[in-house]
Structures are given as C-alpha cells and as structure tokens.
Structure 1
Amino acid sequence: MSYFSTSSHKAATPMPAVNAMQTGSGLRIALLGYRSHPHVGGQGIYLHYLSKALVEQGHSVDVISGPPYPELDARVNLIQLPSLDLYAVENPTRALDFKHLFCFADFYEWWSKLSGGFGEPYCFGRRLVRYFKKHKPHYDIIHDNQSLCYGLLELQKRGENIIATVHHPITRDRDIALQAATTKGHKWLINRWYNFLVMQKDVVQKLNHVVTVSKQSQQDIAEAFERSTEKINVIPNGIDTDIFKPQPHIKRKQWQLITTASSDQPLKGLSVLLNALAILRIEFPQLKLVVIGKLKPEGATEKELYSLKLIEAVDFRSGISTDELVATYAESKLAIVPSLYEGFGLPAAEALACGIPLICSDGGALPEVVGDAACLVRAGDVNQLAQAIRDLLTDEDSCNTLSIAGRVHSLQHLSWQVVGERFSDYYRNILTNARSA
C-alpha cells in the first residue's frame, strides 16, 4: 500500500520555505481530516467549504486526508493518506495482509476495530508525521479538523504552527450513548469505542491554538477538556449561499418533511422525530419523512421504525450530491433538526439558506445558529415537536414568514466568505505573534 498519494490539479510537491508574512502574498495552508466523507458527518463538508473560502482569500491550500476522501474545489490540492478504511470493508477480520504487520498504524487500526475501539484518529496522526518526515513540506499554517491526534503535538514540537478546530467535545456523544445503553455490556462497548477521548483531551490541553464554532461549544470544550475559554477562539461555520438557495421552480410536497441524521446516533434526536411523526400520522396519514443519512440494517433505528409502523413512511437517502440535497430541501414542506445537542448544526444552516421553514431543537448551539429565523422546541420533547410541526403544516403564512427570514438570516450571518476572512485574520495574527516571540 502506498501511503502518500495525491489527487489534484497541481502537483503536491514540497514548497520552498518562504515566509508568506514577508512577501505579503497568500499563505501556504494545510487542512487536515482523518476521514472526510463528502456527504455524511459534516467533516468533509467543512473541509470542502473552508478550503474553498481560503483559496478565494488568495491562499494556497492543501487538504491532507484519510479515506473516505472529500470532494474539493478544483483549486485545492488533495493529498491522500490511505488507511485500511475498515468501515468500508465487508469483512474487517480479513483486511489485514502480511505486509500490514510491518506497519504499526495498520495493525493498530485493525486491532482497534476488531476489539471494539476506534483507532482512526490516532493512526492518522502517525501517518501524518511520517508524511512530513518523508516529504518535508512547508506550510505557514497546519489546521486540523478534529482528529486531535498525538501527531499534532509532534508537529508542534517541530516548530509547525498548528491549529485545531473542535466542533464540539465528543464526550457529549459518548454520554448520550451511555444514557441510551440498556446493558452493562453495551456500556462497556461504548466506553471502549470512545477510548480515543483520552488522546483528544490530552492534545486539546497541549495545543497552542484551538478554535471552535460557537460559544456553546467553547463552554463545553472548556468543561470537558479542561482548557480555559480564553484559550479557545470562536469562528463559526459558514454556508455556501450560492449553492444552498431557494429553488422556486421546484414545487413543494405538502406532506414531505426532511431531516439529516446519522442512523443509531442518539445525539441527533432522530428517535424524537420518529415518535413525533408516529403521533402526527394519526392526524395526517399522508405525512412522509426523508432522512439524509444511511439506515443501519437491524440497528436500533430500523427496529424503532417497525415498532412505530413507520417503515413505509420514512425514506433514507445517502451518498447524494449537493445538487440533489438542495433539490430535496426545495421539494420538502418543512425541515426538522431534532438534535439533543449540536456544537454548530450545519443541517440547520443549510435549511435556512435554502429558504425552507425550519423547526429545530434548542440543543447546544442551535439557537445561536438560527437566531429568530426558525421555530425552536425543547430538545427531546416529542409532544412539543409534534405540535410545532402540526402548527406549521396548517399555517401557510407562518411558513412563508420563516422561509423568507431563514434566507435573509443566512445571507447576513452564515457566509463562508466571512468565515474565510476571519480565519485569514486569525492565521496572520498567529504568524505575527510567532515571529515576534
């Protein structure tokens, strides 16, 4: 297996060590992602839009990522760090070849998967350091997207300017999963899988520069990882409002709802929405739900669909293109974000930009993101969510008001251009301080 490959419109050759602060030119920036699926989970989406925004600010940007790889703007260079990618393998037990025994990262990734752990972030860090030792590339800024691996600390010790975005502390995901667990064995497996949090906490405490996407996440990171809020900068996510926008030529389906959720992740609140849907279909039997995400066969969500007699009323769609996603928003009557907690909430921002009336929970940072442009309900409250959906289904004027308000809010507050400008200023401030230290 070749561990360093590139996929780009320009060669990924190491650049000469020219200080961009001295030349006044754009910066050389590396964005990191241990896995960057272009349509699921948000990490690949963040890398796509942030890299594009930075290029448009005049910077030269490489994305260094493990699989699945992101889809990037043509001006952004992708450097691939292949892993075993065991979640894409039909039989992970047989995924380890003899040659992999000579690579600790490969063996650790394989053994972690088989023993119930999640070793991808740690292994990405080892491969990242090896790439830097072999190719010796020069970057003014190396910006990590929540891998929070030990490799970042090693690169920082070597004099690199390392920044990490922590969207929210994954401790939240773990704690909510533990609350939903019904047996001691299940709780043990959850704790085993989230064992990487020990590494993340250590790395967050020792990095010089940490960024998050909301004031809510800033507080949560400070509490979970014991890092002062004064040492956590807030730069929100953004939305490409040229892509995520209303599609007036597409007719809305009166009884179609849309949500985005990773199946069997309690944090996303899909179970809350399904129970609300079951209540509403007694009154509105035509009501359907489109879930942007993948249904896990024989998982908790599938079992709940059968239990609530919703298996024919819910349509899961995964791997769709951005254009298809925008079209699905446009044809839906309402968007629902029922998350129990969000460090930011990209699906909420997408819905606002598309001009679809939005109902979302007050979990985490969602009130920060949507402002007055959405209908807020208590996180986890099935009856309140059902009532909010009922109200909007029967009130066209309120739907129109929310539709307009959402689009205006996205244009004024959720622009990737603004995010790119803020990161550019932040990067240059770091370089100025490093130069004067």
Structure 2
Amino acid sequence: MTGPIRVALVSYRSQPFSGGQGVYVSALARALVQQGVAVDVISGPPYPNLDEGIQLIRLPSLDLYQHGLRSLRWHHLASLSHIIEWFSKLTGGFAEPYTFGRRLKRYIKRHKPHYDLIHDNQSLCYALLDLRAMGYPVVATIHHPITSDLRLALSAEPSWWRRVLLRRWHSFLGMQIAVARQLPKIMTVSESARKDIEREFGVRSERLVVTGIGADTGVFQPLATIQKDPNRIMLTASSDTALKGVVFGIEAFAILRQSYPELRLRLVGSLRADGDAQCAIDRHGLAPWIDFEKHLSQDRLVHYYNEATVFLSSSLYEGFGLPVAEAMASGTAVVATDGGALPEVVGDAGLIVPTAHPQALADAVAVLLHDSELRHGFEQKGRARIERLFSWSACAQRTIAEYEASLSHANR
C-alpha cells in the first residue's frame, strides 16, 4: 500500500458532551490523524466535535430522542429508514443502530468512496456485513456488551410491564450479537470488556483484541490557577440508568453530609424526574447542596475536575470508565466501585469499593477528605498512571496495528 491508510470511522450517534462512545470518535480520529492515518467520520446525530481537517459526513436521522414522535412530517414518509425509526420508537424500540446501517450502506453504494477500511463504533448493524461483501475490510469497537445494561435494568425494575418495555427497547441486541460473531476483528477498551464480550456475545477470543481508550492528558491536566475546594466532590452521570448506579452515589452523599454538613456535590449529567437518583435527592432534601451541570465545554469540565477534592464513580459496570481516567489525569483523587473495568483503570492510584454499597462509597470518600497526605499521593499517582497506560496516542498505535493486520489478511 502506498500513502496513508484511509479509514471511515462510523458511528450511529456521537454525543460529544457525555459518554465514552461519543468522546471516543472525536479523540481517536484526532490521534489517528496525528499518526498519519487519513480519517473521515461518518455519523448520525448528535454529531461529534472534530478537529479542523477531519471530514464529518452527516447521515441525518429523525433523532426522535431529541425531537419526539410529533416531529414526523409528510416528506419523511419518502424514507423507509425514517418510517422504521418512527414506528420502532412508537412501539418502544430503538432502531437507530439498524437504520444508521441502512443509511451508511446507501451512502457507500451511491458515492463509492475509496476507503481502505471501515471502522465501526458499536453500531454492529447488518449493513457492516453487506459492506464486507462489497469488498471493504471492516473492524468494530465494542465498548461493552449492552446485555450488561439490559440485565442490570431488569434486575432493578419491579414492574413486569416496564420489564417488557426494557426487553423491547433492547431488541437491537439480537442484531448486534449476530453481526459481532461474523466480524473478523473486534477491538475493545479493556480486559474486563474483552472477557464480557466473549462470554455474553459469544465472540471467539482470537477475534478480540484490547486496543484501549485514553484521556487527553494535554487537556485533562492539573491547573495551577485552580485550587481544590475542600467542600466539593464530583460525580458524573452520562446516562441515568441502573448501569451507572447514580442513586448509590446520591445515597453516599447523603451519608457524608451527616459528618460534613458543608459538603457540596457537583453532578454532571441529567437525571430522570421519576428516576431513583432524583427520588433519593428529593427524599433526603439534597437539592440545595447539589450543583447540576450538563452540556459542558471541555474547558469547563477540566475546571470542575480540578476544583473537586474527590471524584466519585458509583457505576455498577463500566467497559472502561472515561470520567474516572479524566479525573485522574486532572490530578484529582478518585473513589470508584469494582464494577467492570474500573479497577483496571484506577489500579493502586485510588480507592476501590464494592458496587451498590453507599456506605462503603461514603467511608472511602471520608477517608480522602480527612487524610490529605493519602489524597495528595493519589492525585500524583493517578496522573502518572493515566500518562503511562491510557493515552490516546497509545490507543491509536494499537488501533493502527490492528488496521494493518486486517488489511494484510484482506490482501492475501
């Protein structure tokens, strides 16, 4: 091959403000370009924020989770993908990964772009198999198997009819499992996620490789101009689902305020009005002591990481745990659960407690609030650990190695 590898990085949605998957698209694209790969990003809405020089190809959808079912107009009926999307949402389903695949296949067939390889970001849509049949080498990244989300959501839901709706919403999993089993190479972000994908999706171990994920240590770093607020802890909620365990973080905060009455929580993300976390806030009367933030700029997020004395992750499961890595890179001591890959990320540079255990979370945060020597040690060790193990540059290098291996195999 002469010239740079030309890659289409495709993602059915690329939310830039929260969640590891959306951050992954923009950060990996930047790191790949810095190492000489030519990258186009093909995405459905919400679209990623990309560096200048990286082409974004938009594949518009109805984006019903933003605009609602009443946004349908007569001209939308000319598109079967729109119709599928709308009826799926009407009946409690989530068709975006499937309909994104339809639009992606249509775009590729119409424009015939010259890509050496297509890299899917967890849409795992049937169209990927069609693109392989058209001659495009295809690899995919799975951040974690969504079967984990479904299992935890079902266990937390007492209502039988809501459990039916949960199964309906997650019905796209059948497609994702079938496609994942047929792709020759699956990349993932942690050893924990690799084992879970092998077990829950039935993907053979020789097809799985850990390429990792990273925190941008040039952006997420200690800022000399910002002092730690001794009465400030921080928690993020990329989604208010059982998987993220936000309610346990709220309960831990309620326990902490009994001993630290001036303590405040900065919660980055949105909560459901009828969700367990919001109910816990209301039950304990915590609203005046919580600062809610969402849709933050990167600069503001870095500021808040630096301001917090302790960052708390109460997730029941994480395929990686990007906010924890960002907090560590920013020089903030962390307390995290042992859910999924979080112990892999934190290592010996923070405190790990059992999942679903508010008292253990509160006790660990209290230790760090009280012991400044231990806390300062974790601030330094955490930053060093992320620099050493979880940079985007290293992630891009491992990803490029898998691109080259896939292309070598395809050219045999």
> TM-score over 0.5 for the alignment?
yes
Of 383, 401, 408 in structure 1, the residue corresponding to residue 384 of structure 2 is 408
Q: Does residue 96 of the first structure (1) align with residue 65 of the second (2)?
A: no
Task: Deviation per CA, 1:361-400: give whole Å up to 9, x if none.
Answer: 1111111112211111111111111110111111110110
Q: Is the 8 A contact 1:50 1:416 kept in 2?
A: yes
Aligned-pair CA distance for 1:304: 2.0
Uncovered stretches (5+) of structure 2, i.e. residues with no partner: none
Equivalent pairs, count: 412
Equivalent residue, structure 2, for 1:73: 51
Q: Is the 8 A contact 1:96 1:107 kept in 2?
A: no
Which SS does the other structure have where 1:405 is aligned?
A: helix
Q: Does residue 35 of the first structure (1) align with residue 13 of the second (2)?
A: yes
Q: Does residue 216 of the first structure (1) align with residue 178 of the second (2)?
A: no
Of 270, 289, 293 in structure 1, the residue corresponding to residue 269 of structure 2 is 293
Give the alignment of 1:160-171 within 5 angstroms: 160-171=136-147
Which SS does the other structure have where 2:310 is aligned?
A: strand
Give the alignment of 1:166-245 within 5 angstroms: 166-245=142-221
Distance 1:183 1:272 in 2: 21
Aligned-pair CA distance for 1:216: 0.9
Which SS does the other structure have where 2:288 is aligned?
A: coil
Q: Does residue 87 of the first structure (1) align with residue 65 of the second (2)?
A: yes
Distance 2:238 2:28 in 1: 22
Equivalent residue, structure 2, for 1:57: 35
Equivalent residue, structure 2, for 1:368: 344
Give the alignment of 1:131-142 within 5 angstroms: 131-142=107-118
Of 255, 273, 282 in structure 2, the residue corresponding to residue 279 of structure 1 is 255
Which SS does the other structure have where 1:312 is aligned?
A: helix
Decide whether aligned partners of structure 1 residues 412 and 263 sit closer, same or farther in structure 2, where only a CA change above 3 A counts: closer
Equivalent residue, structure 2, for 1:5: none
Task: Deviation per CA, 1:31-71: give whole Å up to 9, x if none.
Answer: 01101111112222000110001000111110000000000
Which SS does the other structure have where 1:142 is aligned?
A: strand
Give the alignment of 1:376-395 within 5 angstroms: 376-395=352-371
TM-score, normalisation: structure 2:
0.98
Equivalent residue, structure 2, for 1:350: 326
Aligned-pair CA distance for 1:295: 2.5
Aligned-pair identity (%): 45
Q: Is the 8 A contact 1:34 1:65 kept in 2?
A: yes
Aligned-pair CA distance for 1:263: 4.5
Give the alignment of 1:133-152 within 5 angstroms: 133-152=109-128
Which SS does the other structure have where 1:334 is aligned?
A: strand
Q: Is the 8 A contact 2:213 2:390 kept in 1?
A: yes
Distance 1:156 1:288 in 2: 52
- Which amino acid in 2 is paired with 1:392? L
Which SS does the other structure have where 2:386 is aligned?
A: helix
Of 16, 22, 25 in structure 2, the residue corresponding to residue 44 of structure 1 is 22
Aligned-pair CA distance for 1:239: 1.4
Aligned-pair CA distance for 1:75: 2.2
Which SS does the other structure have where 1:108 is aligned?
A: helix
Task: Deviation per CA, 1:120-168: give whole Å up to 9, x if none.
Answer: 1110000000001110101111101001111111111111110110000
CA RMSD of aligned residues (A): 1.1
Distance 1:265 1:315 in 2: 20
* Comparing 259-268 and 129-138, the one that deviates more: 259-268
Distance 2:231 2:86 in 1: 45
Equivalent residue, structure 1, for 2:290: 314
Distance 1:313 1:153 in 2: 51
Task: Deviation per CA, 1:66-93: give whole Å up to 9, x if none.
Answer: 000000111211000000011111xx23
Which SS does the other structure have where 1:94 is aligned?
A: helix
Which SS does the other structure have where 2:48 is aligned?
A: coil
* Comparing 275-284 and 164-173, the one that deviates more: 275-284
Decide whether aligned partners of structure 1 residues 125 and 263 sit closer, same or farther in structure 2, where only a CA change above 3 A counts: closer
Distance 2:141 2:214 in 1: 14
Which SS does the other structure have where 1:289 is aligned?
A: strand
- Which amino acid in 1 is paired with 2:117? I
Of 250, 260, 264 in structure 1, the residue corresponding to residue 240 of structure 2 is 264
